[in-house]
Amino acid sequence: MFLIIPGSLVLGFFFATQLQPLIQAVPYLFAYVTLTMAIGCGVEQLRTVMKRPGIMLWTFFLAHLLSPAIAYGLGAALFGAHSPYVIGLVLFTIIPLGVSTVLWVSMSGGSVPLMLAMVVLDSLLSPIVVPIAIQLLFDTAIEVKPGPMMMDLLLIIVLPTLLGIGLYELSRGKLQEAVKPYSAPLSKLCFVAVVALNASAIAPHMAQLQEDMMKLIPLVIVLVGICYGVGYIGTMRSDARETQITVSYATGMRNISLGIVLALAYFSPLAAVPVVLSILIQQPLATVHHYLLHNLNKNKAGVTPGR
């Protein structure tokens, strides 16, 4: 991801003129990426979450209520409440949890079934969560179109997710492994195309971006780091180590390509800039977070009772 994402951005900037006519294909490409994620989850994983509704609700509160409030406050303080950058910062925090979270949760010793099910459920809820959150925060500042946004989310998130779950159940979980040699590379190519096409849409605004990057990049780094911290600190009272790991990754990583799609479809192209920057930042910070979790857990294991 460290090579693919920057490479896709550079590709989009350099070939902006040639790629811009293809921007309308982005939702369809993204729908395919969603489908490949969903065929790895069945009804049983969803039942796992429903047996632990408290964890699920608390994660969604931290990710989609507390984190957006922090993003809005930081962005408004630095750029003003009406800045498109503030919209992008908030959009990063209210879009669904990212599927790549599952990989990091697995490597760090978290609960993969819980994480995968939360990603699917959060995606299914996105047509309700995203428009309402934007309406509440920006109703007086920008024109929000919740109806068309909900319809788009239904088409590019909910329907592919339901189709993927249905295919998982029909194949009894065997479909993903059977098609993985073909679906996984194609999914990555679709992701590259999504990033490159959206970079081509941002390219005409590069002159203005150069003036703002010195403030925007540190702000995005701080915000993404805070999102990881919100999940970790928010579950410190939990006795289950895997719960703390799972929730901290869930609150720190988002479905960034969806954020780019929404930013460009409904707001100024500048609103997509913080979302694009988040792509570059959330994966390296996931590595840092993994390192910190490893050392924190090692220190806890080394503490002997009575000493």
Summarised one tens digit per residue, pLDDT across range 143-177 is 556 566 677 677 777 788 788 888 888 888 777 77
pLDDT at 307: 40
17 within a domain of the structure (yes/no) = no
CATH, residue 153: 1.20.1530.20
Quick one: what percent of the chain has pLDDT higher than 90? 9
At 255, the pLDDT band (50, 70, 90 cuts) reads confident
Q: Is the pLDDT of residue 11 over 80?
A: yes
* Across 184-208, average pLDDT: 75
| Tens of pLDDT, residues 122-135 | 877 877 888 887 77
Judged by average pLDDT, the poorest of 135-144, 192-201, 227-236, 238-247 is: 135-144
| Tens of pLDDT, residues 263-302 | 777 777 788 788 878 877 877 788 788 888 877 766 665 5
At 39, the pLDDT band (50, 70, 90 cuts) reads confident
pLDDT at 54: 84
Single pTM value for the model:
0.73
Residue 56 to residue 246: CA distance in whole angstroms: 11
Segments forming the whole domain that contains residue 282: 24-297
DSSP state letter for 1: -
pLDDT at 263: 75
**For the chain, what is the domain count?**
1
Which residue reads 């994402």 in tokens?
A: 5
* Across 82-98, average pLDDT: 87
* Across 242-252, average pLDDT: 88
Q: Is the pLDDT of residue 223 over 90?
A: yes
3 within a domain of the structure (yes/no) = no
Contact present, 190 and 8 (Cβ < 8 Å):
no
121 within a domain of the structure (yes/no) = yes
37 within a domain of the structure (yes/no) = yes
Residue 87 to residue 78: CA distance in whole angstroms: 13
303 within a domain of the structure (yes/no) = no
Residue 279 to residue 204: CA distance in whole angstroms: 20
Local structure of 132: helix, strand or coil: helix
pLDDT at 306: 44
Residue 2 to residue 41: CA distance in whole angstroms: 26
Q: pLDDT averaged over the chain?
A: 78
Q: Is the pLDDT of residue 2 over 60?
A: no
39 within a domain of the structure (yes/no) = yes
162 within a domain of the structure (yes/no) = yes
Local structure of 52: helix, strand or coil: coil
Q: Is the pLDDT of residue 304 over 50?
A: no
Q: Is the pLDDT of residue 188 over 70?
A: yes
**How far, in whole angstroms, is CA 220 from its chain's centroid?**
14
